Amino acid sequence: MAGVIRWSVATALFIVIVVAPIVYFRCVYDTHKRLRVVDPGRVYRSGQMTADGFADAVERFHLRTIINVQDEYPDPDIDLSFWSKRTIKESDLCRQLGVRYIHLMPTLLPRQLIPENRPPSIDQLLSILDDPSSYPVLIHCHAGLHRTGILTAIYRMEYQGWTQDQAFLDMKAQGFGPWVCTSANDYVKQFVLTYQPGIRTTHEALKSSRARSVAE
């Protein structure tokens, strides 16, 4: 009997000391996946949160626009919560929350077109961010590191006056990864290291750029 009691106590202590903190961490992580402030009251970034996480972010930061930049998931299925595997389409969730939902694909151009040209998705992003009614904005991909990182860097350079080097170092600091955050990475080069603030591409030029990208 004494052995059973000791085993029960040891099990309970293990759950309290080891298991509970891990579950709590996972719950917080999945709910608010890398939710961070870029520019208070204007721009925020994250990974793909749960529906509870998105709802909390919308309420806390008064979000008006959510931009999903996942190439592979134009309208992802969002878990309702950490505790529930039921899902809802992100566009439906945004509709329920009264938030504008935008899917933006950060596509690349052939290398020979850089730096004279830039990916059309840059101008698509700028058209959103140039509109005062879009703010506050949340930009997110799946992990909240790479695609979110390059588009956040554009905001830094275009609207906050950061240099390319400052934006580049910030991407590294935000978890982009030292091995992939180099000039050899086409996303880093086309979206950050060759980015020139203040330029706006006309609608016709944007369509022509898209056509060249497809043809190449």
Looking at every residue in the chain, the average pLDDT score rounds to: 84
pLDDT in tens, 50-77: 999 999 999 999 999 999 999 898 999 9
Average the pLDDT over 184-210 and give the result.
79
Sorted by where each begins, the domain ranges of the chain are 1-31, 34-215
pLDDT in tens, 8-43: 444 444 444 433 343 333 444 346 889 999 999 999
CATH architecture of 34-215: Alpha-Beta Complex (3.90)
pLDDT in tens, 112-147: 999 999 999 999 999 999 999 999 999 999 999 999
Contact (CB, 8 A) for 136 and 61: yes
